Amino acid sequence: MSTGQHGAAMSAGDGTADGTPAVLHPRRPTALELSAAYAAGESTPLRETERALDAIERHDPEVHAMVLVDPEGALRAAQDSTGRWQQGRPRSPVDGVPTTIKDILLTRGWPTLRGSLLIDPGRPTDWPEDAPAVSRLRAAGCVLLGKNATPEFAWKGVTDSLRHGHTGNPWGPGLTAGGSSGGAASAVALGMGCWSVGTDGGGSVRIPASFTGTVALKPTYGRIPLFPASPYGTLSHAGPMTTTVADAALMLDLVGVPDPRDWSALPEPPASFLAGLENGVAGLRVALSPTLGFDVVNDPQVEAAVRAAAQVLADAGAEVVEVDPDITDPVDAFHTLWFTGADKVVQAYDEGALERIDPGLREAILRHGSSASAGDYLDATAVRMELGRRMGLFHTDHDVLLTPTMPIPAFGLDRQGPTGDGALWTSWTPYTYPFNMTQQPALSVPCGFTDDGRPIGLQVVAARHQDALVLRVGRELERRTTWHHRLPPALLPGGSTDPTTEESP
C-alpha cells in the first residue's frame, strides 16, 4: 500500500475489547490475546515467556533495546503464573503476560541506571523498591523480563547513551528508534514482551511509537503515579507502550490508580478504560491541525497519511474540520522548565559530574538550565498556564485534536536529529512537548508508512482527564485500518527484508 491509502477492514486477528482473540499471533501476541489464551488453556505463561526470551536472544543483538535481561527470574515467575492459571487462581487477567520496563523506573532487585555512567549499579539490596507502575504490574502477576534502553536521564528524542550505546529501529537497524523510550518501543515492536511502561516528559513514549509503528499513550498528568518524583516536575508522565490501543487501555486500568508515594496522583477512575472503547466516533467534533499553526514543514508522506487517517474518522461519522488551536510554540518556556530539571539531576552527583555526561546534555544544561533564574522559571510557568487556558477553550468546541505525532519518519541511527546539525531534539518534535506543558492526554497510533517502509504516527489529543476519549478515537482508526498488523522485517516469514509485506495474524 502506498502512503495516503488506509488499510482494509480489520481482520479477525485483533484481540477484542473484552479480551477474546480470534487468533493468537505466533510472533507478536497482544496482552489481551494472551489473557484469553491462558484462560482457555491454549497457551501458558511459561510458553509465552520462553517465546519472548527467544525473541530477545534473536533480535536484541541487532537493536540493543534491552539493558538488563533476567531469564532465570522471568522463567521462575512464569512457572509460578502457569501454576496459578492451572489451579484457576490467576492474580489478574494479565497474570503471566511478559513485560519490560524502561530503565528510568525503579524495579525491585534490578539496578536502575537511567543510561548514565554517574550511577553505580551497586548490590541488589540497593534497589529495594518498585516504582508505582512497576509495583502494579508485578502485583497483577506480569512476568518482568528486563529493562529497556534510555538516553541519559531520558533527556532527548533519540535513544543512545555513553553507558549503553545506540538503540536501533525494528524497521531498519540503521534507523533510530526515537526516544527517550526507544528501547521499550523496539522491544514491543519485536515481540520482546507484549508491552512496556515508559516515561514521557516531552514526547518520550510518542516519538518512538511513531518511529516504530507501535502505540503509546501519554495520559493526563497524575493518571499514572510516579515515585520518585521526576526532576522534570509535572512535565513528566508514565505511559503504556503496546502494539494495540486495547492493550494500552488495559495497562492503564492496571497502573492508572493512586499510590500514596505520589501526592499528585489522580483518584481511581470511575470505570475501566476498556469500557466504551468500541463506541466509535459518530458525532465527535474532530479538529485536524497538520502544523498546530507553527512554522513546521512536514514530510509530504507524513502529511498525506495523517490526512488519510482524518478521512477514515470522517467516514466513520466524525465531524472533521481543519483548524489550528490559538497557540504559539512554547519551546523556549519548555527549555527553561526541562533543562533546569536536568541541571538539578546532575547536581545531585559528585563534583565533576557535568564533565562525565552526554555532551549534548551538558551543552543544553549550560545554555538553558544552569543560567536560568527563578524569574525565568516563573515566566516559563506563566507561558505554560496560558497555553493550558487556550487549549482548554479549544476543547470546548472540539472533542479531539489530530496532528502528526512526528513531522518526519525515523532517520539515521548515527544522527541526533534529521539534519545532523546538532540542533536540540525539540527542533524536530513540535507536536509532542506542547501537550506535556498542558498535561493533556495524547495518544500515538500507527496511520501509515512511507514509500520506503518507515512507520508514520497520528497523534490524538483531548482535554485533560479525557483519556478514555483519545483511546476510543485511536481504537476506531485501528479498527478500520490494518497498519498495526504490519510487522517489522525480522518478524516476517523467512526474515524477509521487504518492510511493505503484510502478514495476516
**Cβ atoms within 10 Å of 505's Cβ, excluding its own:** 22
Omega of the bond leading into 228 within 30 degrees of 0 (cis): yes
Chain-centre distance for alpha carbon 489: 21
Tell me which residue of 59, 52, 432, 399 sits closest to 235, measured CA to CA: 432
Residues 6 or more apart in contact with residue 402 via CB below 8 angstroms: 286, 287, 288, 289, 306, 309, 310, 313, 320, 458, 459, 460, 461
Secondary structure, 3-state, 353-372:
HHHHCCHHHHHHHHHHHCCC
Helix segments in 111-190, DSSP class H: 132-139, 182-189
Q: Are 201 and 166 in contact (CB under 8 A)?
A: no
3-state SS assignment for residue 250: helix
Active-site annotation, residues: 102, 180, 204
Grid cell locating 42:
491454549
User: Cα angle at 355 between 352 and 356, to 5 degrees?
Assistant: 95
Cα 38 to Cα 85: distance, rounded to the nearest angstrom: 7
- Under DSSP, is residue 347 helix (H, G, I), strand (E, B) or coil? helix
Q: All 3 cell numbers of residue 240?
A: 503504556
CB of 57 within 8 A of CB of 74? no
The CA-atom distances, in angstroms, between 46 and each of 25, 141, 142 are 16, 12, 12
Question: Quick check: bond before 370 cis, omega within 30?
Answer: no
For the chain, what's the residue count? 505
Q: 181 to each of 18, 316, 357, how far by Cα in Å?
A: 28, 32, 19
Element (H, E) at 377: helix 374-394
How many Cα atoms are found within 13 Å in the side-chain-facing hemisphere of 273? 30
- Residue pair 457/407 in contact (Cβ under 8 Å)? The answer is no
Q: Three cell numbers at 65?
A: 533495546
- Give me the half-sphere count of Cα atoms (radius 13 Å) on the Cβ side of residue 132: 26
- DSSP secondary structure string for all residues of 176-240: E--SSSHHHHHHHHTTSSSEEEEEESSSTTHHHHHHHT-EEEE-STTSS--SSPPTTGGG-EEEE
Do the bridges between strand 168-169 and strand 172-176 make them parallel or antiparallel, or are there none, so unpaired? Answer: antiparallel
223 contacts 131 by C-beta, under 8 angstroms: no
